[in-house]
Structure 1
Amino acid sequence: ATLEANADPANALQAWLIAARRSLLLGRLDEARDALARLDGQGLPASLAAVAELATAELALRSLHTAPAREALARARIAAEHAGVAALLAEVVDTRAALDRPAARQYFSGGERMLRLDEVEALLDSGTLVVDACRRAVGAGTTWRALARRPVLFALALALAEAWPGDVDREALIARVFRTRDPDETHRARLRVEIGRLRALVKPLARIEASARGFVLRPHDERPVSVLAPPIAGEQAALLALLSDGAAWSTSALALALEASQRTVQRALADLEAEGRVRAIGQTRARRWLAPPLAGFTTILLLPSTLAIA
């Protein structure tokens, strides 16, 4: 706003692009959309137009709208070629190639497969009951329930979805969710309480019924069930995916993007650093974290999105 007020439109437009990119990195898609909207009809020079279209494509991808993303990338390529900036053109080409790389892994009754982003979009639009291990949510169609801040309920939902259409033994659920191999009556009582909470949460989507040995997931309308997982396995997959963009991240920014506590992120980073998979630069509040790119994997799906998860 200051740059615009002082008749410096070129730098003002650049600043709005920086603001849009920052919002995208933090998962604040509405803010990014507002910043990009200020650039419409501004007659951007070719180089800035290419950057703006790249940001528009990324916004569409993080909202899982692949068709608008492809259109924005086509416009970005034209602008980059007109600008004659080789590095910018390379970025456009690399982003376009990401659409054809695995973005997630789907587990379903009888098998698993790798999915591109357009296939993820089709799955989420198909009416299938999806337990989404990328965003820690469960839903179908437009009805979603967020479980990112309820790890026990998410672990239960994931175990039931992985076993569908079969049931899961109570002892197996206790061992997986409460991480104990020697359960007692307090664990069994807690399992009943947590199953009751999950049952109430997913009531619009499915029933959770008791079986002779445990519990079973029964989706409404005989929907199929799928688990959507990151393309790389492990609890630290989402953290590595964020770091793989090549930018230097602070612990607080990572915690915000992952909807986790800073202490949780710090522990995960310490483990990854010991394995040589990430590195730190700077000290104390100035410390930033970096990791080499994960070749062959797009990270878009692992970042916050505007899916209707409530």
Structure 2
Amino acid sequence: MDSLITAAARALAGGDMLTALKHVALRNDAPALALRGIAMAQLGDFARAKDLLRSAARAFSSHEAAARARCTVAEAEIALVSRDLNHPMRTLGPAQAVLEAHGDRTNAAHAGYLGARLHLLVGHLAEAERILAELDPEMLLPASRSGYWLVAAGLAMRRIRTRAARAALDRAKQAAREAGIPALDVEIDRASSLLQAPAARLSSHNQERLLVLADVETLIASDTLVIDAGRAVVRRGPTVVPLASRPVLFALARTLAEAWPADVTRERLLARAFRAHHADDSHRARLRVEIGRLRKALLPLAGLTATNRGFLLKPHRAGPVAVIAPPIEDDHTDVLALLADGEAWSSSALALALGVGPRTVQRALESLAAAGKAERFGRGRACRWIATNVPGFPTGLLLPARLISA
């Protein structure tokens, strides 16, 4: 490798994109094209960066498989940042295998870290944890090591483990200092601030207050019967009853918990669960069926008793009952949670992350745009969506139950 390529690579590693470009701006050989692509990506020109990296991959000979794989990893990272999620899901694994086969353990580890970051983004927490466990962070360059620990912190926040999150953020900060890249410090500070931001809204005894993440962790570990509207579960200690796939049952459980220790009228239950403001005999018959199903589902934790007015929630053990919900609730909270990370998303990436159809996401985006909560720019396949007001709380707690389960 010649001296200009070496100097450009060192400048990029230190976050000095302009110096790197000065060294290789007029060159069109494969290594120079690759370095120019990485520099343009760091400057935010993703379209030009992808073109340069693809040109570099074509320019490398068939005997330079590792160099091609490095271009593929760089392009996948750009796709990940620009929320083109299909591309990295297809290409990262094969590129990592090529790099490992050629003994490039540093870039192979970087590809693995990117895979963990992708799985965290789309809510595959168990897979992200598996990938991180298989990686040695010491094999990563300081900038990538900082990102590794940011992913670990994100996983800990989703799992509501504040001590682990703080420890991971401390390690990310240390790696960022070694890298000497100011943008990393900003990203870590932003992630750290989420630990002190409102993470949930607690409803108990007709009172509401905001909780930070540590408060949520303490509440879940206590003897309180918790109805978690973010994850659509009912839990007490280690016993968890998931109701994400049964929205009617969860709506009934939440309504009963919000009124506890009082009972709830049948009319209110019908309005909350079925949106039936003018109930007839068929609605009342359906309510009896759903209450029976809920009674069976909650059997490990509580019972349901019929009263003259309606139904009463009766926990099996003495102790408080509380409902925790996201600080902001919206008909399209899951889409808003993803948009609130500050990045520009395509509708196809949102559909992939949420596990729903593209048309469902389009309807949600149009509704959020009409409410002034999201806006679009670009056309066709280049169309991207952003949140107009980024909430100041851990948006991972807003994500639907599928995304925050194991």
Match of 1:158 in 2: 254
User: After the TM superposition, which residues 14-53 of structure 1 pair with which residues of structure 2 at under 5 Å, given as runs?
Assistant: 14-40=110-136, 42-53=138-149
> Which structure has the highest helix share of the two?
2
Q: Does 1:68 align with 2:157?
A: no
Number of matched pairs: 307
Q: Does 1:180 align with 2:276?
A: yes
CA distance in structure 2 between the aligned counterparts of 1:253 and 1:143, rounded to whole angstroms: 34
- Report how far residue 175 of structure 1 moved: 2.0
Match of 1:211 in 2: 307
Match of 1:122 in 2: 218
Q: Does 1:305 align with 2:376?
A: no
Residues 26, 253 of structure 1: 8 Å contact kept: no
* Deviates further, 259-268 or 30-39: 259-268
CA distance in structure 1 between the aligned counterparts of 2:363 and 2:286, rounded to whole angstroms: 27
TM (normalized to structure 1)?
Answer: 0.91
Distance verdict in 2 for CA 1:289–1:149, change over 3 Å? farther
CA distance in structure 2 between the aligned counterparts of 1:21 and 1:180, rounded to whole angstroms: 43
- Report how far residue 112 of structure 1 moved: 1.3
Residues 138, 145 of structure 2: 8 Å contact kept: no
CA distance in structure 2 between the aligned counterparts of 1:192 and 1:17, rounded to whole angstroms: 50
Pairwise CA RMSD:
2.1
Distance verdict in 2 for CA 1:29–1:170, change over 3 Å? same
TM (normalized to structure 2)?
Answer: 0.71
Write the letter of the residue equivalent to 1:305: I
Distance verdict in 2 for CA 1:90–1:293, change over 3 Å? farther
Write the letter of the residue equivalent to 1:220: H
1:58-78: per-residue Cα shift (whole Å, max 9, x none)? 111111111011011111111
Residues 170, 215 of structure 1: 8 Å contact kept: yes
CA distance in structure 1 between the aligned counterparts of 2:236 and 2:364, rounded to whole angstroms: 31
1:275-294: per-residue Cα shift (whole Å, max 9, x none)? 23213456667654322452
Q: Does 1:4 align with 2:121?
A: no
- SS state of the match for residue 208, structure 2? strand
Looking at CA atoms only, which structure, 1 or 2, has the larger radius of gyration?
2
Residues 109, 139 of structure 2: 8 Å contact kept: no
User: After the TM superposition, which residues 1-310 of structure 1 pair with which residues of structure 2 at under 5 Å, given as runs?
Assistant: 1-40=97-136, 42-251=138-347, 253-255=349-351, 257-258=353-354, 263-281=359-377, 288-292=384-388, 294-303=390-399, 304-306=403-405
Write the letter of the residue equivalent to 1:108: S
Gaps of 5+ in 2: 1-96
Q: Which has the higher contact order (CA 8 A, sep 6+)?
A: 1
- Report how far residue 213 of structure 1 moved: 0.5
- What percent identity do the matched residue pairs reach? 51
Residues 152, 177 of structure 1: 8 Å contact kept: yes
* Deviates further, 204-213 or 289-298: 289-298
CA distance in structure 1 between the aligned counterparts of 2:331 and 2:256, rounded to whole angstroms: 19
- Report how far residue 262 of structure 1 moved: 5.1
